[in-house]
Amino acid sequence: MKALPTGPRPNRIVGFIPARAESSRFPGKPLADILGKPMIVQVLQRVAQSPLLDDVWVATDSEAIFNSVRQHHGKAVMTATAHPSGSDRVAEAARHIGLQPDDIVVNIQGDQPLLEPTMIEEVARPLLDDPYLPMSTLIYRIVRDEEINHPNAVKTTFDRDGFALYFSRATIPHFGAQEPGPQYYKHHGIYGYRNDFLQAFARLAPSPLEIAERLEQLRALEHGYRIKVIITDKDSIEVDTPQDLERVRAVLARERLT
């Protein structure tokens, strides 16, 4: 087990939303229109409602995304194209804006326009309470049967102390037919880190399991770091397909009528 970063309580807590120019599964996704606003702007405005954050930035390699965020009065920073993960992109953005080692970084996925702002505090709270903790993330008990076997819903297993054992696109753990009421947990894809750990993480080469599963958090586990998981009671639709986008549009349209 590697020594974990230590330090005083953070000076700042800053949110970052990484956004690539293209997605192989859904090209143009960050700028997809949702009730008159690009999805990345919808996410940014949700995140900005968190009273815990001192600042919120979009980290992107796309001039179109950068300009769209700025046109909607948000903050954006240009990053390199060749990042293996969103965490690596966020690490570069944190360096660009001059964050200190003991600052806390919250990484929010740019494809969750229904994210509840209170989830920001849920993921950051363990880092505020435990100065030895390097990284945290949110999980949610699966209630929609179609997510149990769907590879886009990343499943999580964890130990008795609430630390991640593994993340997979496969259905884990395996429950025998005799097991009553199996419970599965999915990963929400929102992370909290201490900036000194995040910078160390970004210097590590992508690990074999990370590459196989296409899950960046496995890099931390494979290098011996612990990830605290927090069970939230809030779900959030991840927009992976045009069908997911229509679900989000319908939900937000209903919210406007209430």
Provide CB contacts within 8 A for 76, sequence distance 6+.
57, 58, 59, 60, 65, 66, 69, 70
**What pLDDT, in 10s, does the model give residues 194-236?**
999 999 999 999 999 999 999 999 999 999 999 999 999 999 8
- Report how far residue 7's alpha carbon sits from residue 150's, in angstroms, rounded to the nearest whole number: 40
The residue segments making up the domain with residue 141 are 13-242
Mean pLDDT of 44-53: 96
Is residue 253 assigned to a domain? Answer: no
Is residue 6 assigned to a domain? Answer: no
Is residue 250 assigned to a domain? Answer: no
168 DSSP assignment: E
Q: What is the pLDDT of residue 182?
A: 85
Is residue 159 assigned to a domain? Answer: yes
Q: Which residue has the higher pLDDT, 21 or 56?
A: 56
How sure is the predictor about 3, in pLDDT bands with cuts at 50, 70 and 90? very low
Is residue 258 assigned to a domain? Answer: no
Q: Does the model's pTM come out above 0.95? A: no
Looking up residue 78, the CATH number of its domain turns out to be: 3.90.550.10
- Report how far residue 214's alpha carbon sits from residue 235's, in angstroms, rounded to the nearest whole number: 22
How many structural domains is the chain composed of? 1
Is-contact 120 50, C-beta < 8 A? yes
